[in-house]
Amino acid sequence: MAASSRRCYCSVPGCSTSKQRQPYLSFQKDEHLRKAWVRLIRRDEGPLFHISRGSTFVCSLHFDEESIYVSKSGRRRLKSGTTPSRFSWNSWGETRVLRQSVFDRVNARFEVTLVEESQNSDSAIENADEQPTVAEDQQPAAASDHNYSRDSAGGLDADAAAETIRQLEAKVRSLERQLSDLSCTLNINRYCATDEEFRFYTRFQSEKVFWSFWESVAPSASRLIYWSRAQRASDVMALEKPSPNRRLALMDELFLYCCRVAVGMKEKVIADIFGISLTTVSRIIITWANYLFIVLGSVPIWMSREQVQATMPPKFTQYCPNVRVILDCTEIRCEAPSSLTLQSETFSSYKNTNTFKGLIGIAPCGVITFISKLFTGSISVREITRQSGILSLFEPGDACMADKGFVIDQMLSDVGATLIIPPFKRGTRFSKEDTEKTQNIARLRILVERAIRRVKEYHIWDTTIPLTLSGSVNQLWATCCLMSNYQGPLDVKGDVPV
C-alpha cells in the first residue's frame, strides 16, 4: 500500500474517498486474491467497472489496523493475503448480533411467565395462611385468565396428543413419498394431464383409453426383454428372466415409444428429454415395436361375416350389403439405397420416388381388419394382393370394394368372392346408372382413405424413412395401424367415432 500520486477514487460502492482525504490506496495484483477482493467489494467486472493497473484502488479505510504495517522506509503497507473487511453494509467491520427467532423469544417469555406464576402461587399459599377466609359471595367477580400451558380438565392427554401428531406426520411423509414417486419418476405425468395432451403425445382418443390399453399390455410387459439382450443370449433358458436395471419405468418406455411414433420426435431429442443415452432410446424403440407387434398381432382383427353385418352402417346395407372388406394401397417414402438394383425395386412410378407399399383393408364400420407387410414400391396391385394372403380369408359370397386400379376380379372369383369397383367409361361419357354407381362407391370407399389418414397421422411417417429402420419398419407400420383402431371406428358421414 502506498500513497497515490494520481487523482483517484476508491472502488468500493458508497465510498467517495480520494487521495486528498485518504492518500493510501491499493488493489491486489495476485489473480486469486484479486477475485476475492472483487467479490468482497461487491463489484463485478463489466462495462461499468474494469480493473486497470494504476487506476483501480481500494482505500485503507476498508482494512483492519492489524492488516497494515509500517515498513522500514516508513511507508504503510498491507500484509500478505489481506482482504478488505470494513464496509458500510457491515457497519465497518462490527460483528452483527443475530436477533433471536420468534420461537426462541416466545419460549423465553413463556419460561419467565411460568416462573412468575410459580412464585405468585407460592406467595399466595403463604398469604392464605395469614389472611382470614373470605366468603364466596364476597369474592371478586373478575375471572382469572386461562392458563394455556396446562391441560384442561376435558382435554386429551399430552402423551396421547404427541403420539397422534407423530403418526400424522409419518403418514404425511409417506404420502409425500408416494406423490414424489408418481410425479417425478414417471415422465408421462409431466406431459399428459388432459385428454387433449394424451391425444397429442400418444394418439389415443382420451386418457381413459390410454390407461385401458396400458392395463391390457402391462402384465406381459413386466417380463419384457430388450432385443439387444435377446441377440446376445445363446441359451433360450437365459431369456426366462426380464432384463434387469431398467433406466426407465415400463410406463415411461411406452410413453417414449409413443413420442417417437405418434409425435415424430427425433431420437436425440427424446434422449435429452428422458435423460438417457441415444443407444438406450434406440434399444427401447426397437424392443417395444417388436413387443407390440407380437402382442397386438396375436389378437385376430379379421371380422367374421356375422360381425360385419351386425356393425354395417345403413348406407352399406342399402348399396352393397355383401361387402366384407374395403381395400386400398398406400405408400410411405424411404431412403434411396446405394445399390441400383434396390433403387429400381423401391422406386414407385406413382409417387415418383422410393417408397414402401402396403395393403390395408377395413370393415364397413371403419375398423382396420387387414394389414399386409410392407413391400417395395415397384410391386403391382395384383402382386401385392396375391402375396399379402388376404385371398385366403374370403368366403364364398363375400364382396370386396376397391378402387379402379384393383383389377383382381379373377383372383376373387377363384375363391367365390366378387369385386366392387367404379365402372369404366364406355364411350364418350358415363351413363346415368354408371354415374350413380360411381358416386355411391366413391362415397363409401372414402372410408378407407380416412383410415389410412389416421395411420399416417402418426408423425414418424412425415419424413423419409431411413434404411437403418428397414429391419423394424414392418413392426412400426403394423403397430401404428393396430393402435389407430383405439381411436374408434369412423362414421360414413365424417371423421366422427360411433
172-186, pLDDT tens digit by residue? Answer: 888 876 665 554 467
CATH architecture of 305-497: 2-Layer Sandwich (3.30)
Q: Whole-angstrom Cα distance, residue 487 to residue 262? A: 13
Contacts 24+ apart (CB under 8 A), 418-427: 418/322, 420/320, 420/323
pLDDT over 50 at 496, yes or no: no
Which residue spans of the chain are classified as CATH 3.30.420?
A: 305-497
pLDDT over 90 at 26, yes or no: no
CB 11 within 8 A of CB 57: yes
Mean pLDDT of 38-58: 79
256-274, pLDDT tens digit by residue? Answer: 999 999 999 999 999 999 9
112-159, pLDDT tens digit by residue? Answer: 555 555 555 555 545 544 554 444 444 444 444 545 444 444 444 677
Q: How confident is the model at residue 7 (pLDDT cuts 50, 70, 90)?
A: low
Q: What is the pTM of this model?
A: 0.61
> Please, what is the average pLDDT of the chain?
81
414-454, pLDDT tens digit by residue? Answer: 999 999 998 887 777 888 888 888 888 888 899 999 999 99
pLDDT over 90 at 37, yes or no: no
Residue of 2 and 336 predicted with greater confidence: 336
At 50 the pLDDT is 78
At 370 the pLDDT is 96
Mean pLDDT of 466-478: 92
Residue of 107 and 360 predicted with greater confidence: 360
At 244 the pLDDT is 54
At 85 the pLDDT is 83
Residue of 18 and 349 predicted with greater confidence: 349
Q: How confident is the model at residue 286 (pLDDT cuts 50, 70, 90)?
A: very high
> 254 phi and psi, to 5 degrees?
-65, -40
Q: What percent of the chain is modeled with pLDDT above 90?
A: 41
89-101, pLDDT tens digit by residue? Answer: 777 776 555 556 6
Q: How confident is the model at residue 230 (pLDDT cuts 50, 70, 90)?
A: low
Dihedral in degrees, nearest 10, Cα atoms 240, 245, 250, 256: -120
**Which pairing describes strands 24-26 and 2-3: parallel, antiparallel, or unpaired?**
antiparallel
**Which pairing describes strands 323-333 and 399-401: parallel, antiparallel, or unpaired?**
parallel
Q: By mean pLDDT, which of 85-89, 209-213, 308-312 is the weakest?
A: 85-89
At 141 the pLDDT is 45
At 270 the pLDDT is 94
CA-to-CA separations, 230 to 81, 243, 486, in angstroms, rounded: 64, 10, 30
Q: Which of 402, 400, 398 is nearest to 305 (CA)?
A: 398
Question: Which residues on adjacent β-strands are paired with residue 24?
Answer: 3
At 253 the pLDDT is 92
At 33 the pLDDT is 81
At 104 the pLDDT is 67
370-424, pLDDT tens digit by residue? Answer: 999 999 999 999 999 999 999 999 999 999 999 988 989 999 999 999 999 988 8
pLDDT over 60 at 59, yes or no: yes
At 318 the pLDDT is 86
At 4 the pLDDT is 47
Mean pLDDT of 298-313: 92
